[in-house]
Amino acid sequence: MKKTLITIFTLCGILTAQAQIVLDSSHVASINETIIQTNDTMPTGITYGANGSGPWDFSMLDSNVYDTLRFLAISDPRVQGAVSFPNANVAIINSSLEKTSIFLNKTNLNVELLGQSLLYIQPIGLVDLHAASELIKFSSSMGDNYSGSSVGTAGSFRTAGLIWGIDSVKLTRNVSYTSTIDGEGEVITPRGSFNALRQLYEEVTSDTAYEKPASTGKWRLIDPITLSTINNAFPTLNLKEFETKTTQTARWWSDDVNARFPVVEMRHDAAGNATNVTWLLTNPTPTAIAENFNPANVALYPNPSNANITIKTDLVGNKQLQIFDVTGKAISTHAFLNTQLKISVDQLNNGIYFYNILDKNGVVLGSNKFLVSK
């Protein structure tokens, strides 16, 4: 039977609409990319919704906290504790987790979270948390599921005389996790709409605290006195003798080139009610543009701005200011006539922008971001 062009176009439209999303490693950010997320810490009346096809409408989400995720090579000098994660090939530095490096192993088969390294004040110093879990498998499509478990050390440090007779303290962690891709369709955020797969992910962690007396050099269950002493000295550690936690998360992964990380990531309770929602604010941006390298002698204010921004610096030499949008596109370039530069933001839409300060040879002297909110 002869097909008309209209028939062919109609068939193509049907096939496109029904095309199944298949996630692979190219749909997750890689080294030298930066992603900015925003967080609704007080979601009200939001659930992860029914399974099957969307749409899932989260256009009402708010922005309470901004997170900048930088994907770096583990050899990058800003990454700490890489020597303890020899199987990692990507590190993430998160602006909301100060002095913390997160380690991943990203391959064509999956993305595995290996653990993280945290820098505490002395005498604790650097603490490595080893607890592997598989974030997403490749290729993933509707109906796929997997599960797994691991055993690791969730922290080990020397007490450096803090507790008499105790040399070191550690946590061991058992991790079990399950993942199900149970939905496919449109997810809507304040940023826009994406075709996505929904992943329901449950992780159960069980921690046990141990201490090692200097006299025996052998690990034993932590003593209540040791536990109390450490928690009084370092309350942010919040150590417990035994603790089991169950975390339930719904993630919406898209094959859109403007995503490359979960478009929405929702922590929820057993009834499906959201307790915390993180959503993707920007396209992946080259790290060189989005870098937070802001010397003490550079100041930008007000931030956020609704009319003008002022940049002050005593960096030496002839200087220029470059402004970029969240896609990495150069918006404008301005010359410093002295140590201060004032720029109108009237022509800029609401959102996040990045800037570089360059010397006469194009070397970046400092960079950061600012928010336009009118």
Sheet holding 308-313, edge to edge: 298-301, 308-313, 340-344
DSSP summary character for residue 297: T
Alpha carbons 269 and 189: distance in angstroms, whole number: 21
- Boundaries of every domain in the chain: 24-156+175-205+245-286, 291-372
Judged by DSSP in three states, 78 sits in coil
CATH number 3.40.605.10 given to 291-372: no
Whole-model pTM: value is: 0.74
Which tens digits make up the pLDDT trace of 243-291? 999 999 999 999 998 899 999 999 999 999 999 999 998 777 665 554 4
Helix (H, G, I), strand (E, B) or coil at 25: helix
The pLDDT tens digits for 26-61 are 999 988 888 888 899 999 999 998 877 889 999 999
* 106, 126, 128 from 84: Cα distances, Å: 17, 11, 7
Token output for 302: 């007000």
Comparing CA positions, the residue from 200, 203, 154, 199 lying closest to residue 177 is 203
Q: What is the pLDDT of residues 7-21, one digit of tens each?
A: 433 344 443 444 689
pLDDT at residue number 243: 95
Q: With a cut of 50, which residues of the chain have pLDDT below it?
A: 1-18, 290-291
